[in-house]
Amino acid sequence: MTGKVLISQEQIQAKADEIGKQITEDYSKLDEPLLLVGILRGSVPWMADLMKRIDIEDMTIDFMACSSYGASTKTSGTVKIMKDIEEDVMGKNVLIVEDIIDSGITLNYLKGYLKNRGAASVKICALLDKPTGRQTDVQGDYVGFTVGDVFIVGYGLDYNQKYRQLPYISCLD
């Protein structure tokens, strides 16, 4: 069962407006194309809401799937790429779109991986940040909400692959 609503649908949509506007402003100043890279599966709702609010013509999207979390609520500390992007990253400004920055292990690895493939820049946009979970030194460049040390679900975030479809963020009872 899901518990009380921590972040409402309205709060998330308002945050998407705000961050989408900021990204538009920041990346409009740059010459290179923008590539949004969503991390499956958790980023799907956030990616869908965010991308609609970025007003940049020279923009493409792609997705990656990595494993760092297993079926439990604990991180394993290893990163494996299950699905790579198909777009060329060379010379592009890559913005990784993630549901949550928790341990930071996956994001830290992906930043290096995409930089090595010739990206002009690699930044991170996450709806949520859980600083208490951090196991490596990584920071979000665009962050929606900071959450405490509590396991949350909804809006992409799962527990055993469930609850991703909720339009809000909730805790588990």
Contact call for residue 157 and ligand HPA (CB under 6 A): yes
Contact call for residue 129 and ligand HPA (CB under 6 A): no
**Options 16-24, 41-49, 55-63, 165-173: segment touching Mg ion (CB under 5 A):** 41-49
**Options 9-17, 43-51, 85-93, 146-154: segment touching ligand HPA (CB under 6 A):** 146-154
Q: Which does 151 bind (CB under 5 to 8 A by kind): ligand HPA, Mg ion, none?
A: ligand HPA
Task: Give the contacts of 93 (CB within 8 A, at least 6 positions apart).
Answer: 27, 30, 32, 33, 34, 35, 119, 120, 121, 123
Q: Facing residues of 129 across strands? A: 101, 146
3-class DSSP state for residue 133? helix
Contact call for residue 104 and Mg ion (CB under 5 A): no
Contact call for residue 45 and Mg ion (CB under 5 A): no
Q: Which of 23, 66, 94, 152 binds ligand HPA (CB under 6 A)?
A: 152
Buried residues in 147-168 as b, exposed as e (16+ CB within 10 A): beeeebbbbbbbbeeebbebeb
CA distance 80 to 82: 6
In this structure, what token pair is assigned to residue 118? 């010739």
Q: Which of 45, 102, 140, 143 binds ligand HPA (CB under 6 A)?
A: 102
Establish whether 141 is a catalytic residue: no
Please identify the residue of the shown chain whose CB is closest to the bound ligand HPA: 102
CA distance 113 to 64: 12
Q: Which does 102 bind (CB under 5 to 8 A by kind): ligand HPA, Mg ion, none?
A: ligand HPA
Q: Give the closest residue to 62 by CA, choosing from 93, 96, 33, 30.
A: 96
Are 122 and 114 spatial neighbours (Cβ–Cβ below 8 Å)? yes
**Options 14-22, 118-126, 137-145, 149-157: segment touching ligand HPA (CB under 6 A):** 149-157
Binding site for ligand HPA (CB under 6 A): 69, 100, 102, 130, 151-153, 157-158
Query: Residues with catalytic annotation?
Result: 102
